[in-house]
Amino acid sequence: MQRAGFGIVLNVASTASLQPAPFMATYGATKAFVLSFSEALHEELKGSGITVTALLPGNTETEFHAKVGESDGQVGKPRTSAQVVETGIQAEQGRKAVAIDGIANIALGLLARTGTRGINRAMAAQLLRKGI
């Protein structure tokens, strides 16, 4: 990509990357890595013709929860895969570093960025706790 002077990298993180994710700690931590990594590369590659974007979908109509064996932690009405893909395409066209899919997820992201870490942990635990 660097030799060609052009490239697009779209990394799929998650809204779980925005705050601690009790009961899904490894998942949340790996998605936080993807977000941080993508943002760093986005800055490093500015002016090179290569765009790196982190896409943060939330609850999406996929087989994810069935595959991992639970339905807990699903917040809000699921977005379709097509909606998530469209958000990613628009973000790349706009050369954005981060794209959060869906208004409800954007609001959740704002709360995660403005709340204290303790409050964010407690809220996430309530949302993700088994049996809720």
**CB neighbours (10 Å) of residue 87?**
21
Is 27 known to be catalytic? yes
Residues 6+ apart with CB under 8 A from 126: 132
Q: Find all residues with CB under 8 Å of 6, minimum gap 6, and list them.
A: 49, 50
CA geometry: angle 37, 34, 110, nearest 5 deg: 100
Let me know: does 19 contact 122? Beta carbons within 8 Å: no
10, 23, 27, 65: which one is catalytic? 27
Helix (H) or strand (E) holding 84: helix 81-93
Q: How far is the C-alpha of 130 from the C-alpha of 132, rounded, in Å?
A: 6
| Active site positions, annotated | 27
